[in-house]
């Protein structure tokens, strides 16, 4: 019987596996772009006339590309410098626009000085000089005055080039640069020995000022863009998302015109079958069983952390903290849930009780009311498991998915892209940290502003405050994967294996480039400063506890204790105080030049952690969303209180507590979108930017991962959805 269940589960996992099919045709609708996604109506082009106009636009873009290529051929920018005696110079300083001049230079950035001949001499480019800024952002570019002032020269410009992409040719890395900004210089201003262009404050990888989170400011000026998606990522996304978008649009249209003609069952049937629906068809009732509940709590999207019970060694707790003190609406339930499991030396966890703290119906709004359910509670046990799943999903999406992987990875990305240019760590980190800052802009719109406030109990303010708190226990120092409880704990086994592989890869890289890493230590120093100074305060360390009630203080303490356990966080490692705030992230080094071997180990640990978060940790939660949140009545972002005394403790057949039609299609659209539009995988290495040793290590462990239900081909190299 057990083997049969296992076979059916495997069959369903295979059947509902995420596929990446790229289908396209001339008159098929097209998405305008990733940043035009909306929880309501995304910007889709479907009218044949608009499609034709869009086609003309695409043709025009192709022609423009051809013209540029022709122009590059006619007017090549040869790297050779046209100079005689270097008798003059341009000097200045480049700083980040977000900081005080003395503290935030843009160091080691490439500058080039170009001249262009007059039209009757063919607009030819002449490279007149090049340099890079020093540790303090100061640059000194030598050139030949006579060359620049030559009557043939029509125009002059100073260009700033940012390192942009890393490529591997075999195991040989290289960094390509792209033009970030150019400043026209007037020829007649170049007189005498030197020309001072003053201090240039640029928004290159600038921190946002409108949020306490370490987020990237994206300039609207197309000439000052810090990061864009790769073309491959944009193309893959647009094509994969269209069928899902059209399904949602159809539902939204029906809801607007004839809501009575649409049901939750219709909506469900229009989206691809997910894991639990497939299971229900083959094994009715199994997806609602205790066994499945235990399996998914252990190895599903939420990959719960089992905190040992303080009194009984065979019992463990998974804890979800709900609305707490966050701003919330009164439509949806989101109580705290304490789920107790018995876990034997073999087999999945067996749930023994679920205790909710908080409001379960529209009439009793006491936030401290407690309700406990056990397997002997009859139908209420089924209802309690459903509510626990829902609480778990909200916590997983906000705390683990968005804060723990997206924002957490972004804080390493900004600090890395601001600082690593000459240090070999550039080749290690860039491929894994790219694109997260741009996908997070979309997440702000569709997740934080759109989906979560309308589908869960939390308001937008509530979500933002919660994300800040959730970041307060995310630190590289001391982090380790979850402890394996028994052989059924496949998530933890896979997580440990991936962590070991990442460690081997990072060790290998640091051994190979040790000299270069130590030589350019000042970049590590500024990386560490940016990372730490912009990290959030330790979890609720800014809260004045005297203002809290006894219950609130106790919950805050328990929540912190559970978060420390789940995220392997030890507050002793958060040592830096900035403006009275104890920063959560630990410094990597305190010296501008390399001095301590321990700092070298710190850097290794921080890189290993950042890669882990950006790859395995994000992939896991992202790709399992459709498994666990792909059936409306099984799980969702929020159960409505409804108008009955029993509130959310009602059967699935009571549709008054289920998401309404709009929210149902939005949820399936959203989870489909996130789980099915991934692009950029480690082993596929679509952009030739992954170190071959990392790929080799994963391939060597392919079979072991497969036995744990992990397909290594689907592990993303970066967080970009
Ligand atoms: Fe994601």
For the stretch 351-408, pLDDT in tens is 999 999 999 999 999 999 999 999 999 999 999 999 999 999 999 999 999 999 999 9
DSSP 665-720: HHHHHHHHHHHH----BTTT-TTS-S-HHHHHHHHHTHHHHHHTT--GGG-BSS--
- Spatial separation of the C-alpha atoms in residues 633 and 263, rounded to whole Å: 12
Task: Give the integer Cα–Cα distance in Å for 487 and 315.
Answer: 17
Find the 601 Cα to ligand 1 centroid distance in Å.
Answer: 29
Q: What is the pLDDT of residues 99-135, one digit of tens each?
A: 554 568 999 999 999 998 887 777 888 999 999 999 9
pLDDT value, residue 101: 47
Query: Would you say residue 640 lies in a domain?
Result: no
What residue ranges in 14-150 does DSSP mark as E strands? 30-31, 44-45, 88-96, 110-117, 125-132, 138-143
What distance in angstroms lies between residue 526's CA and the mean position of ligand 1's atoms?
Answer: 28
C-alpha span between 87 and 399 (Å, rounded): 59
Which pLDDT tens digit goes with each residue over 160-171? 999 999 999 999
Q: What's the CA-to-centroid distance between 244 and ligand 1, angstroms?
A: 17
Residue owning tokens 């509530």: 462
Q: How far apart are CA 297 and CA 318, in angstroms?
A: 8
* Cα–Cα distance measured from residue 698 to residue 705, given in angstroms and rounded to the nearest whole number: 9
Distance from Cα 719 to the centre of ligand 1, integer Å? 6
Within-domain flag for 51 = no
In tens, the pLDDT along 300-353 reads 999 999 999 999 999 999 999 999 999 999 999 999 999 999 999 999 999 999
pLDDT at 457: 97
Task: Work out whether strand 110-117 and strand 153-169 pair parallel, antiparallel, or are unpaired.
Answer: antiparallel
> 98-107: buried (b, 16+ CB within 10 Å) or exposed (e) per residue?
beeeeebbbb
Between the CA of 176 and the centroid of ligand 1 the distance, in Å, is: 27
- 240 pLDDT above the threshold of 80: no
Residue 118 in domain? yes
Tell me the residue range of the domain where 174 lies. 88-204
Confidence (pLDDT) at 171: 93
Q: Tell me which residue of 346, 368, 347 sits closest to 356, measured CA to CA.
A: 368
Which DSSP state fits 497?
H
Cα separation, 41 vs 450, whole angstroms:
11
CA of 41 to the centre of ligand 1 (A): 21
DSSP annotation of 72 reads H
Mean pLDDT estimate for the chain:
91
Could you give the number of structural domains in the chain? Answer: 1
Beta strands in 290-410 (DSSP E): 307-308, 315-320, 332-333, 336-342, 350-357, 370-373
Ligand 1 centroid from CA 546, angstroms: 37
The Å distance, Cα 491 to ligand 1 centre, comes to 18
Does residue 534 sit within a domain?
no
State the Cα–Cα distance between residues 492 and 194, nearest whole angstrom: 62
Residue 720 C-beta-side C-alpha neighbours within 13 Å: 25
Burial class (CB in 10 A: 0-12, 13-18, 19+), 346: exposed
pTM over the 0.85 mark: yes
Report helix, strand or coil for 565. Answer: helix
Which protein residues have their CB within 5 A of the ion that is ligand 1? 622
Could you tell me if residue 94 is inside a domain? yes
Structural contact between residues 443 and 452, judged by C-beta atoms closer than 8 angstroms? no
480 lies in some domain: no
CATH number at residue 142: 2.60.40.3330
How far, in Å, are 206, 410, 451, 630 from residue 210 at the CA level?
12, 16, 21, 34
Under the banding of pLDDT at 50, 70 and 90, the label for residue 674 is confident
Neighbours of 168 (CB within 10 A): 20
Q: Do 584 and 475 touch, CB atoms closer than 8 A? A: yes
Angle at alpha carbon of residue 124, lines to 149 and 83, rounded to 5°: 45
CA distance 283 to 161: 59
Residue 590 covered by a domain: no
* Residue 154, in any domain of the structure: yes
Q: What tokens appear for 166 in the block?
A: 């890393």
Closest alpha carbon to 670 in 457, 455, 437: 455
pLDDT of residue 708: 95
- DSSP single-letter state for residue 567: T
């Amino acid at each position: 019987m057990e083997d049969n269940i296992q076979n059916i589960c495997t069959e369903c996992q295979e059947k509902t596996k995420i596929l990446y099919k790229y289908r396209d045709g001339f008159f098929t609708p097209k998405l305008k772009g990733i940043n035009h996604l909306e929880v309501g109506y995304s910007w889709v082009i479907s009218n044949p006339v608009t499609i034709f106009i869009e086609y003309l636009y695409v043709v025009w873009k192709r022609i423009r590309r051809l013209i540029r290529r022709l122009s590059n051929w006619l007017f090549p920018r040869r790297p050779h410098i046209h100079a005689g005696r270097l008798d003059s110079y341009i000097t200045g300083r480049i700083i980040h626009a977000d900081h005080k001049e003395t503290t935030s230079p843009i160091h080691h950035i490439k500058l080039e000085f170009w001249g262009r001949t007059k039209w009757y001499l063919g607009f030819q480019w002449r490279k007149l000089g090049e340099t890079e800024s020093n540790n303090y952002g100061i640059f000194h570019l030598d050139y030949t005055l006579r060359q620049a002032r030559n009557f043939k020269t029509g125009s002059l410009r100073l260009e700033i080039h940012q390192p942009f992409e890393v490529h591997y040719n075999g195991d040989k890395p290289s960094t390509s640069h792209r033009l970030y900004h150019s400043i026209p210089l007037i020829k007649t201003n170049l007189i005498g020995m030197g020309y001072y262009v003053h201090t240039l404050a640029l928004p290159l990888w600038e921190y946002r000022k409108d949020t306490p989170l370490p987020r990237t400011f994206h300039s609207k000026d197309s000439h000052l863009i810090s990061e864009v998606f790769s073309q491959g990522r944009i193309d893959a996304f647009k094509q994969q998302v269209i069928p899902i978008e059209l399904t949602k649009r159809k539902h939204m249209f029906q809801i607007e015109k004839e809501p009575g003609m649409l049901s939750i069952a219709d909506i469900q049937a229009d989206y691809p079958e997910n894991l639990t629906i497939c299971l229900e068809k083959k094994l009715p009732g199994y997806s609602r069983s205790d066994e499945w509940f235990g399996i998914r709590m252990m190895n599903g999207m939420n990959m719960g952390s089992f905190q040992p019970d303080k009194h009984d060694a065979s019992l463990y707790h998974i804890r979800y903290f709900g609305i707490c003190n966050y701003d919330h609406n009164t439509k949806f339930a989101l109580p705290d849930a304490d789920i107790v499991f018995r876990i034997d030396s073999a087999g999945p966890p067996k749930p023994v009780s679920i205790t909710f703290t908080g409001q379960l119906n529209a009439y009793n709004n006491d936030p401290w009311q407690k309700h406990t359910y056990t397997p002997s509670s009859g139908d209420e046990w089924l209802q309690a498991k459903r509510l626990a799943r829902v609480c778990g999903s909200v916590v997983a999406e906000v705390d683990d998915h968005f804060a723990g992987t997206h924002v957490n990875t972004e804080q390493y990305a900004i600090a890395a892209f601001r600082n690593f240019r000459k240090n070999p760590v550039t080749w290690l980190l860039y491929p894994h940290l790219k694109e997260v800052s741009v996908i997070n802009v979309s997440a702000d719109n569709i997740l934080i502003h759109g989906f979560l406030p309308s589908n869960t109990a939390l308001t937008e303010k509530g979500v933002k405050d919660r994300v800040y708190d959730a970041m307060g226990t995310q630190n590289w120092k001391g982090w380790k994967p979850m402890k394996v409880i028994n052989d059924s704990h496949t998530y933890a086994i896979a997580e440990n294996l991936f962590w070991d592989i990442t460690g081997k890869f990072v060790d290998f890289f640091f051994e190979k480039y040790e000299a270069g890493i130590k030589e350019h230590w000042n970049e590590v120093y500024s990386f560490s400063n940016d990372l730490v100074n912009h990290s959030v305060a330790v979890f609720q360390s800014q809260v004045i506890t005297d203002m809290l009630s006894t219950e609130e203080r106790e919950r805050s303490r328990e929540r912190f204790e559970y978060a420390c356990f789940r995220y392997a966080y030890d507050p002793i490692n958060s040592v830096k105080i900035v403006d009275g705030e104890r920063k959560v992230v630990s410094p990597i080094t305190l010296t501008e030049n390399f001095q301590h071997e321990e700092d070298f180990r710190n850097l290794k640990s921080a890189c290993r952690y950042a890669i882990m978060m950006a790859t395995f940790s994000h992939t896991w939660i992202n790709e399992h969303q459709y498994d666990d949140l792909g059936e409306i009545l099984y799980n969702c972002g929020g159960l409505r209180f409804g108008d009955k005394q029993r509130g959310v403790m009602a059967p699935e057949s009571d549709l008054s507590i289920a998401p309404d039609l709009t929210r149902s299609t939005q949820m399936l659209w959203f989870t489909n979108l996130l789980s099915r539009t991934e692009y950029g995988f480690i082993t596929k290495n679509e952009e030739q930017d992954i170190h071959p040793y990392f790929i080799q290590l994963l391939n060597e462990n392919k079979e072991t991962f497969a036995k744990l239900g992990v397909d290594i081909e689907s592990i993303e190299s970066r967080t970009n959805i």
